[in-house]
């Protein structure tokens, strides 16, 4: 698996279409029967996020907590192979996410998804799997998504920033509206106790504290020294330098346009939004989020 060559991966930008009421691209729906019927195991851990909310960060933290002592894994296996992206389907280039997950030899298996809660394969709920959800404030999430779509040829063409922002407010992004995603998963938390709902802003504010939260949710007893070492190893600059976590091995991402590990900040939206865009965004936000109690911080 380590030898998969993604350096020659060429993709043409896909079109968005409606899939079960959610905007999607074919790379995440072509394998739908297998995704829908995926057989989760009770000890699987599902990492769920809206794209660009800190998926890679929390994936790497969990990977180190469980498998940090496996030197070979840590030095030769990129994060996207350690933590398969369940619904992804790029057949010429990489085994389907379902197959990568089926073939994971570890226990637990760490599995990533960006699916809105209503589309998650039902076996995860039937098996009462632990789920870690990470959410990020809408403004920084939108900015990060814009730069990601600019540089990732496997994503739809984003247009200019204003154009992208209008589409974001309409929910015309891959994996649908941010608003529904974060509030749908927040709603799930009220009835499903094996779900930890985390915030990107909290992770930036105090990574060590959030590592502790993860350990207590997962029932892990890693030593204090280990936790401190992990907290250091997952800082933005360390992950940006680390070839196993910075996605530098995937050529569909053009880092000359924007790197995967871009800024890693809370409040960077202020450098992107105009005053008028911010006003409009706040109005739309109030409307879209009026039926949920989930609260975000746009600065820390
Ligand atoms: P920016 O584009 O704002 O820099 P995902 O993994 O869900 O695709 O999210 C990517 C976003 O998380 C990027 O945000 C990336 O820089 C940020 N990120 C990744 N690792 C991080 C870390 N260790 N600390 C802070 N931010 C991190």
- Residue owning the nearest CA to atom 8 of ligand 1: 52
- Name the pLDDT band for 9 (thresholds 50, 70, 90): low
- Name the pLDDT band for 119 (thresholds 50, 70, 90): very high
What separation in Å is there between the alpha carbon of 264 and the centre of ligand 1? 5
45-49 sheet: strands from edge to edge: 110-113, 45-49, 130-135, 195-199
Report helix, strand or coil for 85. strand
Q: Is 57 in the pocket of ligand 1 (CB under 6 A)?
A: yes
pLDDT tens digits for range 22-33: 999 999 999 999
Confirm if 175 and 50 have CB atoms less than 8 A apart: yes
Q: Round to whole Å and give the CA distance between 193 and 190.
A: 7
pLDDT tens digits for range 78-102: 999 999 999 999 887 789 999 999 9
**Quick check: 2 pLDDT over 80?**
no
Pairing of strands 17-19, 22-24: antiparallel
Q: Which atom of ligand 1 is nearest to the CA of 144?
A: 2
**Quick check: 77 pLDDT over 60?**
yes
What separation in Å is there between the alpha carbon of 135 and the centre of ligand 1? 12
- Matching residue, tokens 């060559």: 5
pLDDT tens digits for range 245-283: 999 888 789 999 999 999 999 999 999 999 999 999 999
**Quick check: 284 pLDDT over 80?**
yes
Q: Which two tokens stand for residue 121?
A: 């394969």
pLDDT tens digits for range 190-242: 999 999 999 999 999 999 999 999 999 999 999 999 999 999 999 999 999 99
What separation in Å is there between the alpha carbon of 152 and the centre of ligand 1? 15
In testing the pocket of ligand 1, which one of 49, 236, 244, 265 has its CB within 8 Å of the most ligand atoms? 236
Q: Is 263 in the pocket of ligand 1 (CB under 6 A)?
A: yes
Q: Round to whole Å and give the CA distance between 172 and 164.
A: 9
* CATH number for the domain running over 24-288: 3.40.50.300
Beta strands in the chain (DSSP E): 17-19, 22-24, 45-49, 110-113, 130-135, 195-199
- Residue owning the nearest CA to atom 5 of ligand 1: 52
pLDDT tens digits for range 141-175: 999 999 999 999 999 999 999 999 999 999 999 99
Which residue numbers are catalytic? 114
Backbone angles phi, psi at 199, to 5 degrees: -120, 135
């Amino acid at each position: 698996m380590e030898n998969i060559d993604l350096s020659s991966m060429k993709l043409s930008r896909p079109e968005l279409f409606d899939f079960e009421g959610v905007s999607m691209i074919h790379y995440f729906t072509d394998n739908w029967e297998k995704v829908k019927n995926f057989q989760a195991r009770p000890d699987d851990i599902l990492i769920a996020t809206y794209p660009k909310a800190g998926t890679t960060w929390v994936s790497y933290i969990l990977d180190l907590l469980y498998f940090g002592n496996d030197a070979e894994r840590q030095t030769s296996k990129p994060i996207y192979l350690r933590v398969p992206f369940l619904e992804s389907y790029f057949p010429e280039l990489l085994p389907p996410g379902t197959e990568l997950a089926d073939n994971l030899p570890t226990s637990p298996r760490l599995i990533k998804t960006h699916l809105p809660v209503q589309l998650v394969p039902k076996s995860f709920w039937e098996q009462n799997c632990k789920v870690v959800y990470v959410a990020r404030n809408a403004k920084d999430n939108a900015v990060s998504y814009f730069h990601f779509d600019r540089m990732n040829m496997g994503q739809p063409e984003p247009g200019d920033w204003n154009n992208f922002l209008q589409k974001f407010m309409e929910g015309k992004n891959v994996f649908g509206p941010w608003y529904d995603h974060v509030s749908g998963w927040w709603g799930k938390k009220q009835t499903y106790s094996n779900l930890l709902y985390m915030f990107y802003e909290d992770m930036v504010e105090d990574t060590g504290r959030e590592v502790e939260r993860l350990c207590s949710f997962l029932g892990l007893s890693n030593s204090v020294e280990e936790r401190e070492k992990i907290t250091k190893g997952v800082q933005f600059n360390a992950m940006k330098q680390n070839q196993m976590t910075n996605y530098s091995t995937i050529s569909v991402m053009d880092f000359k346009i924007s790197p995967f590990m871009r800024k890693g900040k809370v409040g960077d939206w202020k450098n992107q939004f105009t005053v008028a865009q911010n006003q409009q965004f706040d109005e739309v936000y109030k409307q879209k989020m009026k039926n949920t109690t989930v609260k975000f911080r746009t600065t820390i």
